[in-house]
Amino acid sequence: MMRTRRPKGVSLDVWPGFVDALATLLIVMIFVLMIFVVSQIYLSDALQGSKRGLDSLQAKLHEIASLLKIEEKKNTDLTTVLQSTTQQLHQMYALKNQVETDLSQKIALSDQRALTAEALLASLQLQIEDLNQKLQALNGALEVAETTRIEQKLTIEALDQKLAAALVQKVEELEKYRSEFFAKLKELLEKRSDVRVVGDRFVFQSEVLFPSGSATLQSAGEKKLKQLAKTLKEISLKMPADLSWVLRVDGHTDNRPIHTEKFASNWELSAARAIAVIKFLINEGIPAEHLAAAGFGEFHPLEKGVPDENNRRIELKLDQR
């Protein structure tokens, strides 16, 4: 509180003022101290609250850190999964591209094959049409050929009948002349024991015509063959020109082996004797085209068990050529 001023001229007492100032200062200091204490109290409370908040925040921070670690682990796992999935996805894309490429190639190949098949089918269709046309033409030709064949068959049958009739006629003619030849020759030779008649053949013993082991005709044999040639020429003059006849001369030997400088076996000897008879008959005027020679060796005996000399023979037969 304020003191009343003293009247001028009165002496100044500073102590009360000092006390007042000091009291005022003390009050101010107390006030400031009270404010400070209150501030400290409030600040302490605030600090306590802040500490509690900080502890709470610290706990939450630890919790968040734990959650962060968990999330980081999850993130790492997810990253790994994502990388694996991405790799698989790339592989699947590559596989997809490969499959698409293969499929495109197969489709192109299939299209090409389809085009080739269509072209082949068209070519085959043309070939079938061509074959059908050829088949129709062939069927027509076959029908014509069948008609011609039937006509030819009828013609052939008619010709066969004519030929058979002509053949029968020729055979009958040949048989007539053969019978005449056979009868005349038999009449000439019937008293000869060295010439026999066996069926439709005249059989001359080789000893009558040839020396032993030789194919050279001896004089007695030539004489008999001249008689045969004369008779054959007489008969042949009566035969028609179109009558096909031949005098077969077959040579036969016994089964005794022979091996000389001229004849290696009985084959050669029998053939040489038949040829010698043929040559003699040709010299006697018998046409060569009406003569035939064959050698049978020892392989066609007259009968088994007969003497060997009976198998040494020359057989003559008038036959149709």
Bigger pLDDT: 311 vs 277:
277
| Average pLDDT of the residues in 173-188 | 56
| pLDDT exceeds 60 at position 3 | no
Provide the mean pLDDT of the chain.
79
- What is the gyration radius of the CA atoms in the chain, in angstroms? 76
18 or 248, higher pLDDT: 248
The model carries a pTM of: 0.45
Residue 278: strand, helix, or coil? helix
Estimate the crossing angle of helix 14-189 against helix 219-238, to 10 degrees: 100
Question: Model confidence over 25-36: pLDDT tens digits?
Answer: 778 878 887 787
Percent of the chain with pLDDT over 70: 81
pLDDT at 38: 77
Please give the C-alpha separations between residue 4 and each of 11, 17, 20, 25, 27, in angstroms, as whole numbers. Answer: 14, 11, 13, 20, 21
pLDDT of residue 1: 44
Which structural domains are found in the chain, ordered by start?
Answer: 170-320 (3.30.1330.60)
